[in-house]
Amino acid sequence: MSNSELAATYSSLKERFKLTDQDLSKPVSDILLDKISSSLALKWKRLPAYLDLENTIVENIKYDPNLVEESEKRHQFLLDWKATKRAAATYESLILSLLQMKCRQDAETVFELLQENPDSGTQLRRAILLRGSYYNYSYILR
């Protein structure tokens, strides 16, 4: 897919799902990361090249005896991506990578999940603060 086709597809999806640049530039929340990994038909073994990650991450996950199901491997890969890239692990970068891989359906799934839960990390943080348990659950928000 050429850069202009990629930009046009991304723009049309952004408009269709009524999401802003601000929504898409946020780091992926752990809550949505879990939903994304279980919802996608993701060809996760090809993603490192598109997300600027080393293939050793995939190899480690592929042969990890604790990760049996493909959904567990997809989830672990996305967690490793988020841990490695930190603030650069955004919805936008994931969606653009999926579009480059010609996985439009997966990209649309990410848009749908984000549209359904646009501010899940902030909502969780508010709920925890209201209950006065922020310090007990702060690890959830990373």
Structural domain harbouring 76: 3-141
When the pLDDT of each residue in the chain is averaged and rounded to a whole number, the result is 82
Residue 124 has pLDDT above 50, yes or no: no
- pLDDT-derived band of residue 119, with 50, 70 and 90 as boundaries? low
- pTM here is 0.78
Other CB atoms within 10 A of residue 84 CB: 15
Give me the CATH number covering residue 66: 1.10.533.10
Q: pLDDT by residue (tens digit) across 9-44?
A: 999 999 999 999 999 999 998 888 888 888 777 677
Rg (CA), the chain: 16
Q: pLDDT by residue (tens digit) across 99-110?
A: 999 999 999 999
In angstroms, what CA-CA distances link 111 with 6, 57, 73, 136?
15, 25, 22, 31
User: Cα–Cα distance between 30 and 7 in angstroms, integer?
Assistant: 27
Number of domains in the chain: 1
In this prediction, residues 125-141 reach a mean pLDDT of 43
User: Cα–Cα distance between 110 and 9 in angstroms, integer?
Assistant: 14
